[in-house]
Amino acid sequence: MTANILLVGSGGVGTIAALNLEAGGLASVTAVLRSNYSKVTTDGFHIKSIDHGEITHWRPSEILNKIPHYSNKHFDYIVVTTKNIADTTPTTAELIAPAVTPGKTVIVLIQNGLNIEKPLFEIFPQNVVLSGVSRVDSHEIASGVIEQVDHDRLIIGAFRNPTPNLNIESGVDNETDADAAARHFVQIYSAAGKTDCRYVPAEEVPFYRWQKLVYNACMNTICAITGLDTGRIQLAEGAVENLVRPAMNEIVAAAAAVGVRLPADIVDKMIAIDPVTAYLRPSMLEDVGRGNLTEFENILGEPLREGTARGVSMPTATFLYHTLKAIQWRVKEEKGMVTIPSRNV
Amino acid sequence: MTANILLVGSGGVGTIAALNLEAGGLASVTAVLRSNYSKVTTDGFHIKSIDHGEITHWRPSEILNKIPHYSNKHFDYIVVTTKNIADTTPTTAELIAPAVTPGKTVIVLIQNGLNIEKPLFEIFPQNVVLSGVSRVDSHEIASGVIEQVDHDRLIIGAFRNPTPNLNIESGVDNETDADAAARHFVQIYSAAGKTDCRYVPAEEVPFYRWQKLVYNACMNTICAITGLDTGRIQLAEGAVENLVRPAMNEIVAAAAAVGVRLPADIVDKMIAIDPVTAYLRPSMLEDVGRGNLTEFENILGEPLREGTARGVSMPTATFLYHTLKAIQWRVKEEKGMVTIPSRNV
């Protein structure tokens, strides 16, 4: 049986996900496009992929320019690959809400950061929400043109539903359903055999999310604030030892405080994960440079709050957080989302 | 008797200093100009001053485009109003060295930051070095065009000479000489009666320098890093309480550790010193925005080192410092002062 999948966010990560999902023949993908809608409607996607080769005029099964309503079409899965930008509307939960069949649709969040599932479980306490931790170097280099330069690696597992007494009230075993949904999604995603998509049990999901946060919460944010890419941050005297390493150590300590034990060498591994001479520019660095809002709340704010609530000392992360919050305020003001008193001297 | 004064750095602050010094009739100013040399040689300065009114075609007694040698002309005072940029050559001491008559010329540093006198005393252990703490809102808005929008307030006092056994070896009482030179300089500077220039005893100099640092080490640096001006930093939710106030408290604690007791309400006063709606842009914010190097070492690095060497906990200042150091490295690389390995992926 073909699964009906709605894809929200069809940029670098989302389009490769759509391609993987349809390539195996077990899914029919409806993609909701925004900025590239008219371009892709006319010409399709042009994809240059290390996993799939060069593909032109590619389209998912259906293309929409707004979120459909579940009463018109039932989706087995909604895959979300947008960023989580705090203080903006609609939130991810509000955005996808019309398309979610209550108690049925499985929501798959292929997004960075912590506690991203909480607003979803609040609105849809009887739906399954899956975690996707993606490591794919794929970008939309022009409207509808996707370049994937590194292999797709995706780790899928269920988020534990925090709703109290859920199974008793609903009469279903949500945990079993969630794990089964995660396994099924991995099967669909992997069917073409062109990607490394792995199932992990729900109890291991926090490990993989925190593991990626060690990098994202620190490297992305410090690059964004200093204007240095991942190579230059390693070359700049003292930046790794005085900024990156202390911040990463604090995230590791926060993880330990919530019960997630990361490997002893994780900080060294994360610092060296990309070769210096790749000079990668994290998307948060690009976003700040272009005057865009960033997803700093889920990337850094949530791990900081989890750690400090448990008494972990996190001075570097605290400073990074408040600096990014001030930068976010500046961008909001530049975008007219905040008004200030007129100049008067 | 007219004092021979060499002025190094004739921008917003320096040109108003030159004007004050010559206006009283007790000084003849030789100004060393750099970027505005040909403009000012041809047209003179165009000055719009809240203290002096509008003055066109103004020139100090002599204009040079390089530092003269003391064997050609003896200077009673050398007034330096340039910025102290770390890691660049020449340093202030190297720059003015040719013009300093050993044991005679009084060096007046109208500059921000801490420990700026140390390199001068190292090279000229028998010269007097004076501290100038200036609060004047004056800028060179175009080449040779100076706009002074707030009154000139200048606090002058001697730096204590740290050279051991100096008075014994030289046979002169350096401390008395230094205080006398400070009083004399104030007399010359104030003679026209258009400025608020005050003498303070040498033992009070650290107080005035640290007092100004509470503002400069924190507000200038945080504005530079976040891209917010002094008004917006107060409007951005949480920025004062989580960035500015903790940083200022740490500078106050560092001052206390070196024996400088600042008033209990100094942090509140410094936060509110400029009205929000003035939206002032500290020069460090302008410098970072324009890709210029900044004087972060004397403004922040020195108070940080003084405090931490005495066991003061300064996490916010530490983070600010290393962030500015990383930004400085980026600017150096952009200017070709640092070379990095080629891109290779």
Q: Return per-residue pLDDT of chain B as tens, 345 residues.
A: 799 999 999 889 999 999 999 999 999 999 999 999 999 999 999 999 999 999 999 999 999 999 999 999 999 999 999 998 988 889 999 999 999 999 999 999 999 999 999 999 999 999 999 999 998 888 899 999 999 998 999 999 999 998 877 666 665 667 788 999 999 999 999 999 999 999 999 999 999 999 999 999 999 999 999 999 999 999 999 999 999 999 999 999 999 999 999 999 999 999 999 899 999 999 999 999 999 999 999 999 999 999 999 999 999 999 999 999 999 999 999 999 999 999 987
- The C-alpha atoms of residue B132 and residue B205 are separated, in whole angstroms, by 9
The alpha-carbon gap from B193 to the nearest alpha carbon of chain A, in Å, equals 26
- Is residue A255 within 8 Å of residue A262, measured between CB atoms? yes
Q: What is the DSSP letter of A64?
A: E
- Strands ordered across the beta sheet of A153-158: A62-64, A27-32, A3-8, A77-80, A106-110, A129-135, A153-158, A196-199
Residue B137 is predicted with a pLDDT of 83
Stretches in chain A below the pLDDT threshold 50: none
Which tokens sit at A228?
């240095």
Q: Assess contact for A63 and A77: CB atoms under 8 A.
A: no
Q: Do A242 and B322 touch (CB under 8 A)?
A: yes
Q: Do B277 and A343 touch (CB under 8 A)?
A: yes
- Contact across the interface for A344 and B235, Cβ inside 8 Å: no
Q: What pTM does this model have?
A: 0.93
Which residues of chain B have a CB within 8 Å of the CB of A227?
Answer: 327, 330
What spatial distance separates the first Cα and last Cα of chain A, rounded to whole Å?
70
Nearest-neighbour CA in chain B from A276: distance (Å): 9
Beta strands, E only, chain A: 3-8, 27-32, 45-49, 53-58, 62-64, 77-80, 106-110, 129-135, 138-142, 145-148, 153-158, 196-199
CATH 3.40.50.720 domain span(s) along chain B = 3-200
- A101 is written with which tokens? 């069949």
Residue whose C-alpha is closest to residue A230's, from B292, B326, B316, B331: B326
CATH fold of A3-200, please?
Answer: Rossmann fold (3.40.50)
* Cβ neighbourhood burial of B22 (10 Å; 0-12, 13-18, 19+): buried
Tell me, what's the pLDDT at A164? 76
Full DSSP string of A101-165: -TTTPEEEEE--SSSTTHHHHHH-TTS-EEEEEEE--EEEEETTEEEE-S--EEEEEEPPP--TT
Binding-face residues of B in 192-251 toward A, CB within 8 A = 222, 225-228, 231-233, 235-239, 242-243
B290 touches chain A (CB under 8 A): no
pLDDT for A137:
83
Angle made by CA atoms A89, A94, A98, in degrees to the nearest 5: 135
For residues A128 and A104, is the Cβ–Cβ distance under 8 A?
no
Contact B182, B158 (CB under 8 A): yes
pLDDT at B296: 97
Inter-chain touch B326–A233, beta carbons under 8 Å: yes
Peptide bond into B90 cis (omega under 30): yes
pLDDT at B167: 66
Instruction: Find out whether A198 and A30 touch, Cβ atoms under 8 Å.
Output: no
Q: Longest C-alpha distance within chain A, in Å?
A: 70
Tell me, what's the ipTM? Answer: 0.92
Q: Is A235 close to B340, i.e. CB distance below 8 A?
A: yes
Q: Which CATH architecture has domain A206-335?
A: Orthogonal Bundle (1.10)
Q: What is the pLDDT of residues A127-184, one digit of tens each?
A: 999 999 998 888 899 999 999 998 999 999 999 998 877 666 655 667 788 999 999 9
Q: How far apart are CA A261 and CA A254, in angstroms?
A: 10
pLDDT computed for residue B171 by the predictor: 57
Contact flag A227-B327 (C-beta cutoff 8 Å): yes
Residues of B in contact with A221 (CB under 8 A): none
A329 contacts chain B (CB < 8 A): yes
Question: In chain B, which segments carry CATH 1.10.1040.10?
Answer: 206-335
